[in-house]
Structure 1
């Protein structure tokens, strides 16, 4: 008998690249993710490995984020962002005697210098290599995901587009990490029964669904979600434990809301005089988060209290001890109830750790250290669990449609503000599927030039429709600060699709194709036939 816990992090940023401007606020989504989440996380994981602390973590990096990690322009801009932040740190140290936050500013300056050194010197701005190193040493399991974070259940009316999302995501994984993935992260943890066969046919062994996808399934039993089930298609399904995840993630009672932690919104970029920030903000002079924050969380109403790292450390010790103790008690109780080899899966957005919750990376480090000292349970990965329990019999289950969006299903993406997107995408996907089918049926009648031209058009239309399918846009259309950008991006990709469609019969419009291809150079080697007919 064994008891196990699995920590799963999903890292994603939608494709954002704007070479036409010197600074794009939305590109900062990537830069802040690198600097506030990935660099601190990698620093911590390598430290644990170097010290010989045993740990296992499951990590998903979305294909769009992998593409941005590789992009030369974006890597240069990430470094520019870091250098700009360091200049602001130096300014903050100089005015520290006036603000009273000199010591905190000096701490930030030291931290950002250290992270810059890791990024440039240790990993040569190649975060994919850094994660691969940890994978190769057996400390993390890396998983694949859908190409552009499309909400797959809402796309299933045209299965060709889901097949393209999955195949492209797997291709990007193989190109990045050199081997086939065993696991596949479903964007928004969104599942529909039809995905089981499709994932299995593409060589995927396992995925994760929400707890209620298993507990409300026809075959629901007490063992779910604390043991994986297997679908009739042979896909292993792990359930995300709601109780343990809520201890960290819950907006009202989760650990990050403790008043001793750093307040996310009390940021220098939102509060310092605009004239002072002019060099940092650039031409637009639009206020933005800088990562420099001096106040404790205002959850208790005491938001004017200065941030105290020593107090935060006390909170971290309390919360990491509580989390580890809770998992030990939970797993012991599950085993006592008759569940053999119980597993608790705790899955989170990666940017919760370091970005939203500044101290979150240290929380992970503490629970891994405390877990290494325990004898009653171990941290593992889904693939590790399956390998260790290869002789086990797993119960059949057919999880129900679900997601981790508000309400547990797909309501977030079918609201008044964003539901129009689904129809626009479906129409074009049906259009593309018909075009591909007709092209393949008649290609022997075409000249080589026509074949080459139409294959290029199909490739570019596939890319643009996948970019429009990102679940981020529908989500952001309900949030005022990003609503306009999200709608513009969606309409822009749909318009690009239509422009390419208008070129399919005209070999002379290569300039239109060149312009669209250059604007979004993601998945440059996408096979033209990845949108081929899906055989049910």
Structure 2
């Protein structure tokens, strides 16, 4: 193959809040199991197949510690296996009324059960570690429960990051040198905390570098590199108005066959009512995948050719998405990913990881980043604008930092306090409220965790350790058994 026109990095961000033991439907464990079945299983199946055919440095995959804990948790492993079996039964039930849909769902559910039974029964970590060790992908870490870091007190921010990186070390055998900063949130000075924690690269959104996304950029004099999403390329997929998933031939996410819970329709048209949508046709969807994959490859190549002409040397484009887009929200997403990853090298584009881009010297001049995120407005409004949760989070952090350590050895009660505080500080709760997506559930979760922090802190301050231990035993299971509150600065 001729010299590549440039380099493409695909970055996927896998994250859900802690859902185990906190409800099932419509929000709760069902959310986890749907994403697991429709995104995590097929996306990693694509990576495994390409790796078996010699593919290396295929993509960069972030799995947040709180999600990784659920993907390894025995309760969740049993739950998703039951869910997959239920999916197969629902396909059988629907076959009498919707034979084509029932047959399609039977095939996909059977394949998912086979994949889970042979590759996932011991959790995600063995699978992820094997793909990482083989060089098929780069794994990113992050703070433990995905808090919006710019709004945290610096000691809590440092503690959340250290807890998350330690969790990755425990599960995967190595400490990540790259992270997906939750919500791509950044405040000036955070790079110094990253450097102290051994983090060498992180993600920001394109506007944080004023759209100059052609190279990784050192942040100030820290030596830590910021990779920015190329929105011209990313939005080819993820635009709510023009993105591929809204194409007429793809499965419609929002239309249900209510007796079975399956999705029988294709998009058909953006203004078409659910009852008027055409039946889903896998052959039409497969043709759309081929068409849109070819279009995306052409867009990436054209982008890289233009960047090379502008900068006088080969450059970089980073397309970054939530993993859950592929399969869960966009049924055909995993097939599209596979087609793109196969076609890009044939089009003269080098595909690699963020680490591979650094090794190739795709680093530009230092940059000073403004306060930013990838949320609405590219600022902090999604999280800072929910005033009651901002106040709640401030109280949680104050309580966490005010409880003194019991001594030089681990204190399980203070560890439990730290776990509940981290769960209360998840960025998901404010996001769900801002977007009015299960806002009641989000507020209930945030206030429940905060109330436990307040109660336990009061008992510890009063020296009532027996009562505190009794209360902790009544709480739902926690994601991390290794949280050590002595790590709080």
TM-score (structure 1 length as normaliser): 0.85
**1:246 partnered with 2:235:** yes
CA RMSD of aligned residues (A): 2.1
- Closer/same/farther in 2, CA of residues 479 and 387 from structure 1, 3 Å limit: closer
Aligned positions of 1:317-356 closer than 5 A: 317-356=290-329
8 Å contact 1:145–1:166 — kept in the other structure? yes
8 Å contact 1:453–1:507 — kept in the other structure? no
8 Å contact 1:55–1:368 — kept in the other structure? no
Which residue is 2:76 aligned to?
A: 74
8 Å contact 1:230–1:397 — kept in the other structure? yes
**1:188 partnered with 2:190:** no
8 Å contact 1:55–1:372 — kept in the other structure? no
Q: Deviations over 1:307-354 (max 9, x none)?
A: 111111121111111110111111011111125331000000000000
Q: Deviations over 1:275-332 (max 9, x none)?
A: xx6xxxxxxxxxxxx4x21111143434521111111112111111111011111101
**1:132 partnered with 2:129:** yes
What displacement does 1:152 show? 0.4
State which drifts further: 465-474 or 296-305.
296-305
What displacement does 1:104 show? 2.2
Q: Give the number of the structure whose alpha-carbon radius of gyration is greater.
A: 1
Instruction: State how far apart, in whole Å, the 1-side matches of 2:67 and 2:311 are.
Output: 42
Q: Secondary structure at the match of 2:195?
A: helix
Q: Deviations over 1:439-487 (max 9, x none)?
A: 5xxxxxxxxxx53899333222211111011111111123555111111
**1:106 partnered with 2:103:** yes
Instruction: State how far apart, in whole Å, the 1-side matches of 2:109 and 2:269 are.
Output: 27
Gaps of 5+ in 1: 217-223, 278-289, 440-449
Instruction: State how far apart, in whole Å, the 2-side matches of 1:261 and 1:60 are.
Output: 26
Q: How many residues align?
A: 480
Aligned positions of 1:3-82 closer than 5 A: 3-18=6-21, 25-53=27-55, 56-82=58-84
Aligned positions of 1:310-321 closer than 5 A: 310-321=283-294
State which drifts further: 337-346 or 8-17.
337-346
Which residue is 1:256 aligned to?
A: 245
Which residue is 1:86 aligned to?
A: 88
- Return the match for 2:384 from 395, 409, 414: 414
Q: Deviations over 1:490-509 (max 9, x none)?
A: 11001100111122122331
Aligned positions of 1:95-494 closer than 5 A: 95-96=96-97, 101-155=98-152, 158-215=153-210, 224-231=212-219, 232-268=221-257, 271-272=258-259, 290=261, 292-302=262-272, 303-375=276-348, 377-389=349-361, 394-415=364-385, 418-436=386-404, 439=405, 451=407, 455-480=411-436, 482-494=438-450
4+ long deviations beyond 6 Å:
21-24
Instruction: State how far apart, in whole Å, the 1-side matches of 2:383 and 2:106 are.
Output: 40
Aligned positions of 1:494-509 closer than 5 A: 494-504=450-460, 505-509=463-467
- Closer/same/farther in 2, CA of residues 200 and 481 from structure 1, 3 Å limit: closer
Q: Deviations over 1:159-202 (max 9, x none)?
A: 11100111011011111110121101111111111210001100
TM-score (structure 2 length as normaliser): 0.93
Gaps of 5+ in 2: none
What displacement does 1:74 show? 1.2
Instruction: State how far apart, in whole Å, the 2-side matches of 1:140 and 1:425 are.
Output: 35
Q: Deviations over 1:368-417 (max 9, x none)?
A: 11013133x2111111111122xx764111111111111111111233xx
Instruction: State how far apart, in whole Å, the 1-side matches of 2:34 and 2:24 are.
Output: 17
- Closer/same/farther in 2, CA of residues 507 and 293 from structure 1, 3 Å limit: closer
Instruction: State how far apart, in whole Å, the 2-side matches of 1:424 and 1:119 are.
Output: 39
Which residue is 1:447 aligned to?
A: none
Instruction: State how far apart, in whole Å, the 1-side matches of 2:429 and 2:312 are.
Output: 41
8 Å contact 2:399–2:454 — kept in the other structure? no
